[in-house]
Amino acid sequence: MEIILKNCSCILTQDAKRSTLSNRDILISDGKIAEIGQNLSRSGYVIDCKNKLAMPGLINTHNHLAMTLFKGYGDDMPLDKWLKEKIWPAEQKLNAEAVYNGTMLAFAEMIRSGTTTFNDMYFFSESIVDATINAGMRGFASYPTIDHNNPEKTDSEIRNVKSFLSYLASKNTGLVKPMVAPHAPYTCSRELLERSKELALKHNIGLHIHVSETVKEVNDSIRDKDMRPVEYLESIGFLGPEVIMAHSCHFSKEEIVLAAKRGAKISHNPTSNMKLAGGSMQLKEFLDAGILVSLGTDGSASNNSLDMFNEMKVCALLHKFSNNNPEIASAQQVFDIATRGGAKVLGLEKDIGAIEIDKQADIVLINLKDISMIPNHNPISNIVYSANGSCVDTTIVNGKILMENRILKTIDEEEVTDKVNEFASTLV
Ligand SMILES: [Zn+2]
């Protein structure tokens, strides 16, 4: 199907030159951006884009989507206590249906707030694949492995990963791709990390892992292994360009050099880190070292939102404030991290992250009549500092309209919210 985004008032292309176009049409054909120009007249479905701004869909590179089920269930606690006393016991009640509905709720929130690509790790991963296909989202799903140094668990976790990879392969979809996701260096044995790496290399897919989220994690690693977490991962040959490290709040200078040398990539999760008071990733130092950085919300239990507009603002403010320097993390730089940066970290820079001919049509239309966008001195400033997800009018993924005029097209919101509330009532 062809779609014409007719007469867009503004297009933030996010191409290499960061070109901004005015009063242009975008022709979408077979899921791709086929043409950008004036007076493109074809017979496709027409969306009037007067007073609309077109931008690339936002890319959220660290999620536990179905944790929407635990939003507001345990707040104001340190990570260790929060996981042990609230989250891990609540997760015992999960089942495939609950994860499917929690993931659909996450997609409803993401589509409403302009996110088009995600990178998830969560249990009942088959349900996440099903939800992604039904919602029409683009993303990466993975089964998170944890063995707590129990060799029997190591074997069963690797079997679970292989079974998930076969399930996803059987779906024959290009929209959802797999990663291998050992949870963290402190919850996985050396053998589990090594076998995860082998699997990732064998299938030519990414490795998604939490690293150095808290000072406690780093201190425990020094106590138990005589190495900091990144040094440990390097010592077992884990680091490489296929690795995406979430959080990465407490890297030494040497660890930043190691990550850069190995081409490992980062998902920065500022809101979650601030809420759990885990610490702050050193954005400037990572970028100066040439490390690819992207932005992620983490799960709804520790954010408690999946709105990437909020995440961009928090990212900018955190680094300005903590460096006592308003010039760090400019609006353009943060917008880059949430679009082009996410695409690069996920290895999809040829496909998404910019509005350019032949790229996949993952496009978000912003309502320029929204109060947050007025006046329009600088649209990128408005997007990062003033707007939130409610200014998104239309969300398109792979050339398919997932929301138009703020009406979701692929998700029955009432059904999903009823089912999520039903599950939530079993937690208390
Ligand atoms: Zn996480």
Could you tell me the distance, in angstroms and rounded to a whole number, from the CA of residue 275 to the centre of ligand 1? 13
Has residue 260 been placed in a domain? yes
Q: What is the SS3 assignment for 93?
A: coil
CA of 172 from ligand 1 middle (Å) equals 27
> Does residue 355 surpass a pLDDT of 80?
yes
pLDDT digits (tens, 9 = 90+) for 235-245: 999 999 999 99
pLDDT value at 1 more than 90: no
Residue 113 and residue 34 share a domain? no
Tell me the pairing of strands 115-120 and 138-141: parallel
Q: Do 238 and 375 belong to one domain?
A: no
pLDDT of res. 77: 87
Encode pLDDT of 261-315 as tens digits: 999 999 999 999 999 999 999 999 999 999 999 999 999 999 999 999 999 999 9
269 & 123 share domain: yes
Provide the whole-model pTM: 0.98
Q: Are 3 and 9 in contact (CB under 8 A)?
A: no
At residue 427, the pLDDT reads 86
Count other C-beta atoms under 10 Å from residue 186's C-beta: 21
- Can you give the pLDDT at residue 415? 98
User: Do 78 and 101 fall within a single domain?
Assistant: yes
265 and 368 inside one domain:
no
Residue type for position 137? M
Q: Is the pLDDT of residue 346 over 90?
A: yes
Judgement on whether residues 256 and 376 belong to the same structural domain of the protein: no
> What pLDDT is recorded for position 80?
84
Question: Where does a domain end: 345, 371, 396?
Answer: 345
* Residue 114 confidence (pLDDT): 98
Domain of 398, CATH number, reads: 2.30.40.10
**pLDDT digit string, tens, across residues 150-191:** 999 999 999 999 999 999 999 999 999 999 999 999 999 999
Confidence of residue 83 (pLDDT cuts 50, 70, 90): confident
Residue 82: pLDDT over 90:
no
26 CA to centre of ligand 1 in angstroms? 36
> pLDDT of 366-387, one tens digit each?
999 999 999 999 999 999 999 9
What percentage of the chain has pLDDT greater than the value 90?
95
Question: Which stretches of 172-247 are DSSP H helices?
Answer: 190-203, 215-225, 229-235
Task: Specify if 422 maps to a domain.
Answer: no
Those residues whose C-beta lies under 8 Å from the C-beta of residue 133, and which sit 6 or more positions away, are: 171, 173, 175, 176
The number of domains in the chain is: 2
Q: pLDDT for 26-49, tens place per residue?
A: 999 999 999 999 999 778 999 999
Residue 353 lies in a domain: no
In a domain, 15, yes or no: yes
Residue 70, pLDDT > 90, answer yes
Average pLDDT over residues 338-353: 98
Residues 216 and 365 in one domain: no
Cα 64 to ligand 1 centre (Å): 6
Terminal CA-CA length for the chain: 47
Q: Which two tokens stand for residue 274?
A: 């601030």
Asked whether residue 428 is assigned to any structural domain, the reply reads no
Measured in Å, residue 387 CA sits from the centre of ligand 1 at 25
Domain that holds residue 168: 58-345
- The pLDDT assigned to 128 comes to 98
Residues 239 and 174 in one domain: yes
Ligand 1 centroid to Cα of residue 68, in Å, is 13
